[in-house]
Amino acid sequence: MSIQNLNTFDPFADASKGADDDVQDGLVHIRIQQRNGRKTLTTVQGLSSDYDLKKIVRACKKEFACNGTVIDHPEYGEVLQLQGDQRENICQWLTKAGLAKPDQLKVHGF
């Protein structure tokens, strides 16, 4: 017999903490857009605002050897924008860095 109220374990610890200690919740949409010619643009929407997107984009730029920027959108929040088709790269990188689980990543486009 144990009295629930005297337990030191807090049953709501998980809920209040959320999932952001490990990975964020919600889908991360990775899209591709065609520009002129063979050029493309990759956008990453839905990364949690708890992360410093500027640092992420800096790391990505270095890793993928491409340019990129963070765009503040009134509806979709901060969106990462990278030059070229970086869909594969960004998927691998996000999972490797532990920012998102593979099933949270939603890749759009062809």
Partner 1 sequence: MTEEEAIFDPTLKKKKKKKKTAFDLDAALADGGGENEAPSNNTDGGAADTKSDEKAEEDDVNVDIDLDFTKKKKKKKKPFSADDLDAIESKEEGAGEGGPQEDGNVDDNFDLDMLDFSKSKKKKKKKKDLDELMAEAEEKAEDKENGCTVEMVSETVDENSTQWGNSDRDYTYEELLNRAFEIMRDKNPDMAAGKKQKFVMRPPQVVKIGAKKTSFANFTEICKMLHRQPKHLLDFLLAELGTSGSVDGNSQLIIKGRFQQKQIENVLRRYIKEYVTCHTCRSPDTILQKDTRLFFLQCETCGSRCSVASIKSGFQAVTSKRAAIRAKTA
Q: How far is the CB of 95 from partner 1 (least distance, A)?
A: 20
- Do 105 and 91 contact (CB within 8 A), yes or no? yes
Residues composing the chain? 110
Distance between CA atoms of residues 56 and 42, nearest Å: 14
Binding mask 36-55 for partner 1 (x = CB under 8 A): x----x-x-x----------
Distance between CA atoms of residues 3 and 12, nearest Å: 17
Near partner 1 in 55-84, by CB under 8 A: 71, 73, 75-76, 79, 81
Q: How far is the CB of 44 from partner 1 (least distance, A)?
A: 9
- Do 76 and 45 contact (CB within 8 A), yes or no? yes
Q: How far is the CB of 10 from partner 1 (least distance, A)?
A: 34
Q: How far is the CB of 58 from partner 1 (least distance, A)?
A: 19
Judged by DSSP in three states, 32 sits in strand
Binding residues for partner 1, per CB under 8 A?
29, 31-36, 41, 43, 45, 71, 73, 75-76, 79, 81, 108-110
